[in-house]
Amino acid sequence: MLNKYARAFFTRVLTPFAAFLIRRGVSPDTVTFIGTAGVVAGALVFYPRGEFFWGTVVITLFVFSDLVDGNMARQLGRSSRWGAFLDSTLDRVADGAIFGGFALWYAGSGDDNILCAVSLFCLASGQVVSYTKARGEAIGLPVAVNGLVERAERLVISLVAAGFAGLHKFGVPGIDVLLPVALWIVAVGSLVTLVQRVVTVRREAEEADQEAANETPQESETAS
From 91, 95, 111, 176, active-site residue: 91
Beta carbons within 10 angstroms of residue 9's beta carbon: 10
Please tell me whether 32 is known to bind a ligand: yes
Beta carbons within 10 angstroms of residue 189's beta carbon: 20
CA torsion sign, 83 to 85 to 87 to 89?
negative
Active site residue 91: yes
Please tell me whether 176 is known to bind a ligand: no
Please tell me whether 111 is known to bind a ligand: no
Tell me how many degrees the CA angle 139-198-216 measures, rounded to the nearest 5.
40
Please tell me whether 88 is known to bind a ligand: no
Please tell me whether 128 is known to bind a ligand: no
Beta carbons within 10 angstroms of residue 106's beta carbon: 24
Q: What's the CA gap between 88 and 113, in Å, rounded?
A: 30
Q: What's the CA gap between 132 and 147, in Å, rounded?
A: 12
Residue 143 zone, left/alpha/beta (φ > 0; ψ -120 to 50; rest): left
Which residues sit in the known binding site for a CDP-1,2-diacyl-sn-glycerol? 29-32, 70, 74, 80
Which residues sit in the known binding site for Mg(2+)? 66, 69, 87, 91
Q: Could you give the residue numbers annotated as active site?
A: 91
Which residues sit in the known binding site? 29-32, 66, 69-70, 74, 80, 87, 91
